């Protein structure tokens, strides 16, 4: 199994690479960090991390020649399991509204909007308890009350409630995990979320949509 972590100059991939390599040993996975669309196109699993602002990440991804097309063909046409992390998850949306309106990948309908949490600090930073909305194989062994690590000031509001797999309470319900078909995404950082994050990574590597 080849797992491609997509590198498009949007954050430090070292901790994510280490976490995926650790859990990948269980399934004999070859984990590679790559900006090569041909490598991404041949992968058995694709992971799209992302740190920073939505427009900058979306622009950076689009500037990797051939990558957007390779991801679309692999994920939407061939059904390769896909995991987006943080802004990598937000870019699944139809539109992002951070700084300016920016088109997302539109793989899961919805919009990325600012967190509205009167009396609470924004960005939402630190540990928060998950609330599971819909069971999913990537959430096996993860229950309501388990906590994960977040760093974000914007949230993904999905158009279809069935696509919100989990949320946290931060001045209201804030999306934590999204998913449909062979696509999932986490607002939190699984590579920084200790046992729960490693469990989710392992579930993703074992998942057959």
Which of the residues are catalytic?
86, 189, 191
Only one residue has tokens 């062979």, namely: 182
- In whole angstroms, give the CA distance from residue 142 to residue 126: 18
Angle value at C-alpha 201, between 188 and 89, nearest 5 degrees:
40
- In whole angstroms, give the CA distance from residue 209 to residue 196: 21
- In whole angstroms, give the CA distance from residue 29 to residue 22: 10
For residues 19, 98, 72, 17, the Cα torsion angle rounded to the nearest 10 degrees is -10
> 3-state class of 85 per DSSP?
strand
Cβ(17)–Cβ(31) under 8 Å?
yes
């Amino acid at each position: 199994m080849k797992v491609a972590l997509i590198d498009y100059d949007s954050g430090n991939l070292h901790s994510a690479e280490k976490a995926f390599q650790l859990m990948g040993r269980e399934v004999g996975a070859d984990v590679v960090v790559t900006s090569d669309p041909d490598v991404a196109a041949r992968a058995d699993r694709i992971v799209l991390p992302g740190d920073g602002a939505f427009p900058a990440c979306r622009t950076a991804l689009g500037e990797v020649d051939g990558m957007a097309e390779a991801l679309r063909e692999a994920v939407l046409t061939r059904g390769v399991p896909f995991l987006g992390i943080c802004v990598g998850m937000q870019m699944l949306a139809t539109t992002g509204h951070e700084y300016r309106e920016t088109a997302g990948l539109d793989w899961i309908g919805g919009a990325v909007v600012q967190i509205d949490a009167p009396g609470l600090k924004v960005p939402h930073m630190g540990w928060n308890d998950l609330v599971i909305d819909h069971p999913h194989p990537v959430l096996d062994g993860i229950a309501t009350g388990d906590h994960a690590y977040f760093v974000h000031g914007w949230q993904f509001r999905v158009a279809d409630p069935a696509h919100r797999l989990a949320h946290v309470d931060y001045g209201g319900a804030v999306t934590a995990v999204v998913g449909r078909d062979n696509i999932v995404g986490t607002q939190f950082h699984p590579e920084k979320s200790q046992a729960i994050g490693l469990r989710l990574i392992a579930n993703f590597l074992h998942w057959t949509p």
